[in-house]
Amino acid sequence: YEMSTLEEVGLEIGLTRERVRQIQVEALKRLRSIMEKEGLSGETVFS
């Protein structure tokens, strides 16, 4: 699996690099919140 830059993602879906970054930040906040509610840590999920 190959990593894409924010700019590459934005070009593919018609958004600016900054908007893609904002969406990424919000998604990570939501993921952290869900993980906390479930009592999970990043180490548990990503190991």
pTM of the model: 0.78
- Average pLDDT of span 15-27: 97
Domains contained in the chain, number = 1
Q: For position 1, what pLDDT does the model report?
A: 81
Residue 24: CB atoms within 10 Å: 12
Answer for the pair 22, 32: CB distance below 8 angstroms, yes or no: no
Q: Which structural domain, as residue segments, surrounds residue 26?
A: 6-46
If you ran DSSP here, which 8-state letter would residue 45 be given? H
- Average pLDDT of span 9-37: 95
Structure token digits, residue 1: 């699996």
If you ran DSSP here, which 8-state letter would residue 16 be given? -
Q: Which residue has the higher pLDDT, 40 or 43?
A: 40
Question: Considering the domain boundaries, does residue 1 fall inside one?
Answer: no
Q: For position 15, what pLDDT does the model report?
A: 99
Which of the four pLDDT bands, split at 50, 70 and 90, describes residue 2? very high
Question: Considering the domain boundaries, does residue 30 fall inside one?
Answer: yes
